[in-house]
Amino acid sequence: KQEVTQIPAALSVPEGENLVLNCSFTDSAIYNLQWFRQDPGKGLTSLLLIQSSQREQTSGRLNASLDKSSGRSTLYIAASQPGDSATYLCATNNNAGNMLTFGGGTRLMVKP
Amino acid sequence: NAGVTQTPKFRVLKTGQSMTLLCAQDMNHEYMYWYRQDPGMGLRLIHYSVGEGTTAKGEVPDGYNVSRLKKQNFLLGLESAAPSQTSVYFCASSYGAPLSTTNEKLFFGSGTQLSVL
């Protein structure tokens, strides 16, 4: 059974810092991996989706990388802003079908 | 753009009561999902549907039933609510099998906060 872990569970940084969020998974036979953002009391918003054949995806100040062999993905946020404060979750599926496995999320606080 | 809409947003039930949560999507998506989110447990899949008239069990299906009579709607029912079902429920949808291609992103509703006393 796939297990997805995100460490740390919470992170606090000053505004302007570059930071990295980590996601690890136990079964490397993943199809793809998706990063989400969740604001308090809200649903999840898709940030980036990386196919298993890709190494990274970029959107603005966000860069997500994927290393299947080591079972890891990272989300890099450049020049962090208070508006980036949220919980970030990663999820992956496997070739078996339709079920995604989510990590527990990293709660990010960017202080002005 | 409405996207994925969930109703109601909040509900309080007494143990043993029943209720139905409604999810509606206007993106012509085939796949729809119900998740629950609990502190320290992450998101867990309850049931899902790969098209109109189909349903399948997820990771934690016990105590829940679902129906997908119309492509745009996915209903989650609790026949006899229990305190263990206190949670935040999220509906999600995707056009194809989620994450199967670059375009198969998963879209979420804003959630339903359910408390069972």
Tens-digit pLDDT profile for chain B (117 aa)?
A: 679 999 999 999 999 999 999 999 999 999 999 999 998 778 999 999 999 999 999 989 999 999 999 999 999 999 999 999 999 999 999 887 766 665 577 889 999 999 999
What H or E segment, with its residue span, contains residue A75? strand A72-77
What H or E segment, with its residue span, contains residue A4? strand A4-5
| Cβ(A106)–Cβ(A90) below 8 Å | no
Nearest to residue A98, comparing CAs of B42, B47, B88, B91?
B47
Nearest to residue B18, comparing CAs of B70, B93, B76, B95?
B76
The reply to whether B92 touches chain A by the CB within 8 Å rule is: yes
Substitution target from A42, A50, A98, A99 for chain B, most B beta carbons within 10 A? A98
* Contact between chains at A98 and B98 (C-beta distance less than 8 A): yes
